[in-house]
Chains A and B, each alone.
Chain A
Amino acid sequence: MNKPYTTIIGLEVHVQLATRSKLFCSCSTRFGSPPNTQTCPVCIGMPGTLPVMNRKAFELSLKTAVALNCEIPRFTKWDRKQYYYPDLPKGYQISQFDLPLSQNGYLPISDSKNQFEPKRIGIIRAHLEEDAGKSMHDEAAGVADSRIDLNRCGTPLLEIVSEPDMRSPAEAKAYLTELKLLLNYLEVSDCNMQEGSLRVDANINLHIDTPEGKIATPIVEVKNMNSFRAVERALEYEAKRQYEVWQETGRKLGDVPKSTHGWDEQAQVTREQRSKEESSDYRYFPDPDLVPVATTDEQIERARASLGELPAALRTRLEQTYNITPYDSDVLVNQGRDMVEYYIEVADACGDGKPASNWIQQDVLRTLGERQIGIAQYGVSAKALGELIGLVKAGKLTTSRGREVLAEMLASGKSAEEAMKGMGIEHLDESALEDLCRELLNANPRIVAEVKEGKQKAIGALIGQAKKKNPNVNPARVREICLELIEKEN
């Protein structure tokens, strides 16, 4: 469907870095501890304290920035962003203003279902800053006060700001999915949205073609989206809303200040929040408590060397080396590095990438989903699954019989051969199979006659009987042998 406008979307993602301690002090970053048990004079802003930068937080930021193809300036510093809010005890947030640790990167996105053309989403900057605390207000209980928990104060966040390069909510979702996957591969964050380790704000407006030329609608920042699906829905809603408001009022970019809307998941609408202060109101200035960091070539090279093979490169390798489709490589790579390693081992063991991919997608993933476990906890080793697939490929087992063997392997931890033995599945050699077929033909002269008259379908009944006599027969082989024998008789 062609819309009368182009949707322009940029995203700001805050990622909690996987450090044990906070950005500027040694308090734990553990989630879910009792309120106000992980604070110290530094993170609750007591006078006379000095913040000292966490080396790991800086290294994880650098690693992410390099993976996002960013330029890494050789000099970076931290600034105070001042605003008053009860969950910000210092009265300012330590962030980065004019000299961020990285800038001008990009993240390629594509869609294995071809909903949009592959493209690069520009990254304006990725910078390191501290998180604020948490305000809790129970409106329902009619309590007058808000409760403040400062455990999260000072937790390291990497803020990743994209260019407004996305042209649809689907592209925004694809960008977020790819970014999260990349962060998982880099092991820089657990990206748990429920626990707030990954937060997304979106900036969106429309470019509308009118007889008087192209006009832009006022930019709206959308917050409060708790899943990627919610981001997609909120942006779909917001684009439609902006178009309707423009039709009603004709308001353009610049006519009204930038506004902030919150996504209401229950009502599936965005609602206006307070107007955004001008950025100059934050009165940034260099934090005199922190010294700058002069990033070296050596640090950047070390970060680059630690990246490992990343999702985009892995997809290409799987497609080229194992001859699977972009859709299949996408499914496997999206499961994470462990799964890709498992797949490669299975494919190498059975010597064929396609069935390895099918078995993992149809059987292994189902079990993992049912049991809510990862591939590391899966009970069948890659080598054992590869062996089983090899047996099926060689025609020694049918796929459905193979599934039963896999279930037994999963239950008992046995190898494919052992499981088959345990289940009484012996491989029938060709002569035994031929004997079985001959026996069936002798017992069913009517079917033989029908086949001779050209009704090959009649063989079906014999296959059923063969399976009854021996559940391990390969139906396709029984059909072939029976037809051959009848042919010979003629």
Chain B
Amino acid sequence: MPISREQVEKVSLLGRLLFSDNELDKMTCQLSDILEYMDLLAEVDTEGVEPMAHALDISDVFRDDEVRPSLDREAALAGAPHRDDECYLVPAVLGEL
């Protein structure tokens, strides 16, 4: 198995996903299959090939530093599950990150 059950548990925690024991077993198998398949790529000879940072062979795309109108606050907050007149509301965030 290219990925252990512990690793899957850790990744699910980081992704804030809660799985049952059964699901964790299933995920471990499925992710292992995917990773094994991706290992095929390792067979390609990449000697002397520069690593790519991006799928497109372009660089230096910029915009000018100009201010344009922002979203109306009502529109911005429209999809929020909880809100007051000005802000999004979330369960209490205590302490600094």
Residues of A within 8 A of B (CB): 19-21, 26-28, 34-41, 44, 52-58, 75, 77, 82, 84-87, 99, 135-137, 139, 144-150, 223-224, 260, 262, 273-274, 281, 283, 286, 288, 290-294
Contact = CB atoms under 8 A, between A and B. Distances in A.
A66 to B, nearest CB: 18
B53 A36 contact: no
B89 A146 contact: yes
Nearest to A85: B97
B60 interface: yes
A36 B76 contact: yes
Contact of A20 (B62, B66, B90): B66
Interface centre among B59, B70, B82 (most CB of A within 10 A): B70
A39 B94 contact: no
Interface string B36-70: 00000000000000000111101111111111101
Interface of B: 14, 16, 53-56, 58-68, 70-71, 73, 76-77, 82, 84, 86-97
Interface centre among B55, B87, B92 (most CB of A within 10 A): B87
Given A36-B73, A262-B96, A147 B86 contact: yes
Contacts of B55: 288
B92 A286 contact: no
Given A21-B67, A27-B70, A44-B76, 9 more contacts: A20-B65, A28-B70, A35-B86, A39-B70, A52-B61, A86-B90, A148-B88, A291-B58, A292-B54
B62 A148 contact: no
Contacts of B67: 20-21, 26-28
Contact of B53 (A56, A75, A144): A75
Contact of B96 (A19, A27, A223): A223
A58 B88 contact: no
Contacts, number: 131
Nearest to B14: A281
Contacts of A44: 71, 76
Given A85-B97, A147-B87, A283-B14, A37 B70 contact: yes
B88 A21 contact: no
Given A58-B62, A292-B53, A145 B89 contact: yes
Given A36-B73, A223-B96, A53 B62 contact: yes
A294 B86 CA distance: 41
A274 B87 contact: no
Given A53-B61, A291-B59, A84 B94 contact: no
A147 B89 contact: yes
B56 to A, nearest CB: 6
Contacts of A57: 65
B80 to A, nearest CB: 9
